[in-house]
A = this chain, B = another copy of it.
């Protein structure tokens, strides 16, 4: 299990070293380099782990957001789907995903290795066994092998989390798990190989710092394909265009979910600097966190203010989705140095999300938590906004958005259709009426509470 691997997901290669060079010239060259390398290795690894832990926390955020958004009769199943998808993502990325995405991707290539299992390197094992001569080889990797794996693994899980919310209340539990397995083992790692893995989109110069497109649009496309295949919840869209309101069943829990996501995003974007090797990295990560917060704050305020004219009222849920859309939008370029662009990008993301919620209703596509507007629409906007705020090539950005969109939507649609024809994607009308909690699990989310009888109003 000792693969060499290349990480193209790196926007500031060598900054630390360059920066250090100026100052450290005062030290004997070899001493400086040696000191540098091991200290940087420790800091890179430790920061990957700390940021990765925050990203893992986002899965709890999605779970709370979704379990508070669905009707109470489906709140237990959505919890199970979420802890299941995080588990599946962690296992598949160990079994095949990481290799497919990062190991042995040729320059400009399409896909990595089809080998099974990933793990700590032979040099690292030697070092752990006390063979100190392995240190130089270990340190040359830049960070501990599994610290990088851990950080990348939680990203896959984020992609998968986006899908569960959109399809809540009507997709079968095991069908959902099968789709998540395909998404995390194949679909995401393949487009990941094109980009962060060093493949053809990376060679073209596609820019997506922490994954507005690679993670969030991917999740959004996969969710959209699923939503089209399983169809809307019964009663959501009436004859004549009327849309039934489906308010969240537990607003404080939804709000908690959004705060968790916001917090986790600091790891998501901050860790995507991929290093803490010197002053330049420290500066970049600090700018990233500040911009991330500014964009989210602007997304909230834009969504709250615009919800009045667009949706007819000041809207908490629009505000909460505005935070997420602002965060998704800044994710492609959170390292910009003109911070007012973060405010603009986040505000436009929030506005787009509110408009997108309306558009989805017009298109009669049922997306329980607004995952498509928040992750796909804002993700596309963020990936384009990099051109405005930081000077990327618009054509390359559009090419990347389109290529990833076509592949992910197509592969997801094919997977959902196969699932639908074989095991069935959608629960039966009886299960839907009873609720998945009772019918599939036998565990209600709030069994002691008296609930309103459901009406067909």
Contact = CB atoms under 8 A, between A and B. Distances in A.
Interface string A138-181: 11000111110110010000000000000000000100000000
Interface stretch (A59-67, A363-371, A378-386, A422-430): A59-67
A445 B84 contact: no
B441 A452 contact: no
A53 B406 CA distance: 37
How many copies of this chain are found per oligomer?
A: 3
A253 interface: yes
Nearest to A153: B293
28 contacts: A19-B132, A19-B138, A22-B136, A23-B136, A24-B34, A26-B30, A39-B39, A41-B279, A49-B289, A63-B255, A75-B252, A83-B323, A87-B296, A87-B300, A88-B301, A91-B298, A117-B340, A120-B283, A120-B287, A128-B284, A128-B335, A144-B286, A146-B286, A153-B293, A315-B443, A446-B449, A448-B451, A450-B452
Contacts of A298: 87, 91
A242 interface: no
Interface string A13-51: 001001111111011101100110111011101111110
Contacts of A313: 441-442
A314 B75 CA distance: 15
A125 B337 contact: yes
Interface residues on A, range: 35 or more
Interface string A281-301: 111111101100110111011
A432 to B, nearest CB: 16
Contacts of A442: 313
